[in-house]
Structure 1
């Protein structure tokens, strides 16, 4: 103000994209009873006429439409803070539903972690509940339901409504993939912290006769105490089994792991010519890097 007094206008907002100002409460409550074109711009396209902005704002904030919208905005803000809006009950139900599904997924994840640690398969001949040979995963879900109220109510709802239950094969695979991704990220962080590492590689065909190479990384961890760690980081499908071809696969994989190959300090292979061959083996090719 001319007398240096500051007048806050909480309802006024600025858009960097359009380089214009808007009236927040009028835009929120969509006032249609506008008095002039300058006022309407504060609601529609925004006002960017800075020379006349003071007059435009004064005209707008003293209008009946703006005062009504500002009043509704203040009432809504107070109701939200005191949790007395008309949809509060719906929000409570939504929060309870969210907590229910979070609890269910936590139990599924723990079951999968247990089976993976024990090297047990998740699935059997059937994917139905309460039938024989339906696999370790569903059997453990049924066992947990005998002692856990949350899982018991979930199974009852599943059997009654036949609704979404998150126990399907696709969900199991997705949870396994998410866990594997998180574990790999943690291992790679440890390797990056250790800096120097070695690789252990071996090739073998799988049951479908697809040639695969296993990659294991060995490093010295100094987190809690100095110890040597080895971690399996996956299979690589191999189409070119020559020494040069294997080298390209490994270089690409090390880059994917965000590791610096200049920190490679050791290599371990089997006795295959394409691995340890002194002329064209992987061991010789990788030394060039």
Structure 2
């Protein structure tokens, strides 16, 4: 113990010599350098952020595909129902511990990826990807435009644009392409908005080979209608009156001319309004219809089976459990 070297090393683990040796070993250990530790922590944060963002994107895509609302009336932490978007993220986290550890309350305050702004941005990116895919599928081929206007729930006039084209396999496709808010429905305003959308996606007006609108004067007018304005830029953009509007006008005219048909639809509308206005009357109608179907099965007037667009009804017939499918 009188050896100076042994006294310098010391018996305690925290002696100056042993601390110096430990610092030297740490210095030679490249993986323990401060820059590597910071880089490792940064990569972990990136992985957590990516998993958190991926969860929000997948939930937004599912809600958009199912046409469900995103926001809730009360999205606070004390709310029992925070809206479809947040509730779907919570539901997803129950099946994956890694997701549960990085989303909602376990996420940092500046990177939750659940705010309304983030939701709208995700939807905007998804819509842009769909439109880019449609644009890529069209390529340099000719196409037709189908346009109609409608009021939305916020009382804003919206113009829907649909593109009709022939794909590379020779099949005709109609794809909903864009919806644009318009201040008014004059032909010039509609044309400018349509041209802006087509120009943004590098779709040339010269490639239009058809126009499909309703029969309103601002759409089909021979002098200042929308179809006339496009014909001036592209003489091959032939106008065709919307077949659905044609059929509707033909049916309305035919119903008005035939007295019995007009009375039938007039009474039918009243019956529908009366039935659907009361759940009790609706149940009574369904019960009466079920009894009628049961009697027809018993008399072999109809066959039991399974098919598309049908409602399943269960009956007890001749002490046997029979499943019947009645057409909607």
TM-score (norm 2): 0.57
Distance 1:85 1:113, change over 3 A: same
CA distance in 2 between partners of 1:120 and 1:138 (Å) = 13
1:110-148, CA deviations, whole angstroms, 9 ceiling, x for partnerless residues?
111111111111111122357323111111111111111
| 2:198 corresponding residue in structure 1 | 254
> Please, which runs of 5 or more residues in structure 1 have no aligned partner?
1-78
The 5-angstrom pairing of residues 256-271 of structure 1 reads: 256-271=200-215
Q: Does 1:237 align with 2:186?
A: no
1:172 corresponds to which residue?
A: 119
Query: What is the correspondence of 1:94-109 to structure 2 with a 5 Å cutoff?
Result: 94-109=42-57
- Contact 1:130-1:142 within 8 A present in 2 as well: no
Secondary structure of the 1:232 match is: strand
Offset from partner CA, 1:58-86 (integer Å, 9 cap, x none): xxxxxxxxxxxxxxxxxxxxx9xx76753
In structure 2, the gaps of 5 or more residues are 1-27, 234-328
Once residues 107 and 130 of structure 1 are traced to their aligned partners in structure 2, the CA distance between those partners, rounded to angstroms, is 22
Deviation at 1:238, TM superposition (A): 2.2
What residue number does 1:89 align with? 37
For residue 269 of structure 2, what is the aligned residue in structure 1?
Answer: none
1:96: how far off? 1.0
Shift of 1:209: 3.5
Q: Output one character per residue of 1:4-35: Cα deviation in whole Å (capped at 9) or x when no partner.
A: xxxxxxxxxxxxxxxxxxxxxxxxxxxxxxxx
Give the Cα–Cα distance (whole angstroms) in 1 for the partners of residues 104 and 64 of structure 2: 27
Q: Structure 1's 138 and 157: CA in aligned 2 closer, same or farther, altered over 3 A?
A: closer
Number of aligned residue pairs: give it: 205
CA contact 1:194–1:219 (8 Å) conserved in 2? no
How far does residue 216 in structure 1 lie from its aligned partner after superposition?
A: 0.9
Larger RCO (alpha carbons 8 Å, 6+ apart)? 1
Q: Secondary structure at the match of 1:288?
A: helix
- 1:113 matched to 2:61? The reply is yes
Deviations 1:221-256, CA, capped at 9 Å, x for gaps: 11xx43222222222222342223322332232212
- The 5 Å alignment of 1:207-222 reads 207-222=153-168
RMSD: 2.4
CA contact (8 A) 2:157 2:184 kept: no
8 Å CA contact 2:160, 2:179 repeated in 1 = yes
Task: Confirm whether residue 275 of structure 1 aligns to residue 223 of structure 2.
Answer: no
Kept after mapping to 2: 8 A contact 1:202/1:214: yes
Higher Rg? 2
2:52–2:103 Cα contact (<8 Å) kept: no
Quote the offset at 1:194 in angstroms. Answer: 5.1
